[in-house]
Amino acid sequence: MSDDSPIPDDEEEVSEVLSGESEGAGVLTGESEGELAVVVEKPRAQQAIDALTDEGVYDADRRVRAYGDGGVSIPVTAVPETVDFHEVVRQVGDPRLRTLADHLRERGWTGAEVDRAPSSWAVVGSVILVDVGDAPRPAEVGEALLDLHGEADTVLQRHGIAGEHREPNVSVLAGEGDTETIHTEHGTRYALDLAKVMFSPGNKEERSYMGDRVGDDETVLDMFAGIGYFTLPMARADADVIAVERNPTAFQYLLENARLNDVTDRVQPYRADCRDVVDGVSVDRVVMGYYDAYKYLDSALDALEPGGVLHLHEATPEDLIFERPIDRLEAAASDRGRSVEVLDTRRVKSYSEGVDHVVVDARVD
């Protein structure tokens, strides 16, 4: 950890070591109850916070703090039973400032300046992604976000996504400047470089949803796999996934993430245009996680078995939700003498003003 880490030094923050367990929970006496925290290595901080949140013991009212050489103490309401840690400690000090506005006011920002600060951002592993807009003193916004999220060490300013491979345009706003990280969602681990490949935090529930939809030993074609956004949850749910990605950087992370999640035996990766892979392929399910996926419907339908399920993503204007993607799917199926039964429709997130990211799930006979 660098000397200029935004997390306060541990000497003033931790008063007492209560137990030292490498796995599971230590047994604490009643007099030890109070401002508890568990110590983990800093690279594991976000993964541990996610797991502690899932267990229901993460204390969001207190700060994540530095601890020792390369560790952090994460506040908890009780000793966790399912999360590995090094030791349990007691934290002292002021409660966490709960909002970005609190941190900016502490830096002397006026009410009018605070009103111009960003209202949303995303923590992806150890990196914070934010669009500061017209906020004054962007670097102070970055430092305040690091104070707010002690598990992070870098803040990136988003400048959009462009190019054939939808590559992100970002710049370092504050912190160490390390853009490579490992992000954990619902037990799935994603290694990625946020300066090189796209990651949409707003798709979190959709990624989890796909892991819940597939059946054991089901064969799935993921036509736009990226770093494994949908491939990994599905493979972890025991589906066999043909994962196609043409961006060479994203493809390398796809391979790494299959190993990281121990699903290499469930993932068949191809660095190619998905239209060049479908010949001779026969699958139970097709995932089309790309805003212009409708352009590839012919290839998707060629690969999909009768009675199989297709998940069509699209960026759709509000006045055409869900009519346009359904019409496109039905037209492509009709050209092949096939019929469509719509199983589900949902909005994933806002794509831009007046346009939403939507998904249509359909069975195609």
Tens of pLDDT, residue by residue, the chain (365 residues): 333 333 333 333 333 444 443 333 333 333 344 589 999 988 888 888 888 988 999 988 787 888 888 888 899 999 999 998 988 988 776 566 678 999 999 999 999 999 999 999 999 999 999 999 999 999 999 999 999 888 899 999 999 877 666 788 999 999 999 999 999 998 899 999 999 998 988 899 999 999 999 988 899 999 999 999 999 999 999 999 999 999 999 999 999 999 999 999 999 999 999 999 998 899 999 999 999 999 999 999 999 999 999 999 999 999 999 999 999 999 999 999 999 999 999 999 988 899 999 999 999 99
| Identical fold between 10-91 and 100-183 | no
Q: How far apart are the first and last CA of the chain?
A: 57
Predicted local confidence at residue 164, as pLDDT: 67
Query: Which stretches of the chain are assigned E, i.e. beta strand?
Result: 14-19, 36-41, 65-67, 71-76, 87-91, 122-124, 127-130, 154-162, 167-175, 180-185, 188-193, 219-222, 240-244, 267-270, 283-288, 304-317, 340-352, 355-364
Tokens matching residue 16: 């007492």
Residues in Cβ contact with 238 at an 8 Å cutoff, skipping those fewer than 6 apart = 214, 216, 217, 266
CATH 3.40.50 given to domain 10-91: no
Cα-based angle 19, 84, 179 (whole degrees, multiple of 5): 120
Which is nearest to 17 in space by CA: 102, 77, 95, 85? 85
The Cα diameter of the chain in Å comes to: 73
Q: Is 200 annotated as a binding residue?
A: yes
pLDDT at 6: 34
171 is in an annotated binding site: no
Q: What is the pTM of this model?
A: 0.77
- Is 350 annotated in some ligand binding site? no
* C-alpha dist (Å) from residue 263 to 142, 234, 240, 241, 289: 36, 10, 9, 10, 20
Q: What distance in Å separates the CA atoms of residue 257 and residue 259, rounded to the nearest whole number?
A: 5
Domain ranges of the chain: 10-91, 100-183, 200-364
With beta carbons less than 8 A apart as the criterion, state whether 52 and 74 touch: yes
Which CATH number is 200-364 given? Answer: 3.40.50.150
Q: Which CATH class is domain 100-183?
A: alpha beta
Q: Please report the pLDDT score of residue 161 as a whole number.
A: 77
pLDDT at 32: 41
Looking at the DSSP assignment, which residues form a beta bridge with residue 308? 364
At residue 150, the pLDDT reads 83
pLDDT at position 126 is: 92
Identify the pLDDT of residue 183. Answer: 93
The closest alpha carbon to 323, from 337, 342, 310, belongs to 342
257: nearest Cα among 224, 230, 221, 275: 230
Neighbours of 209 (CB within 10 A): 18
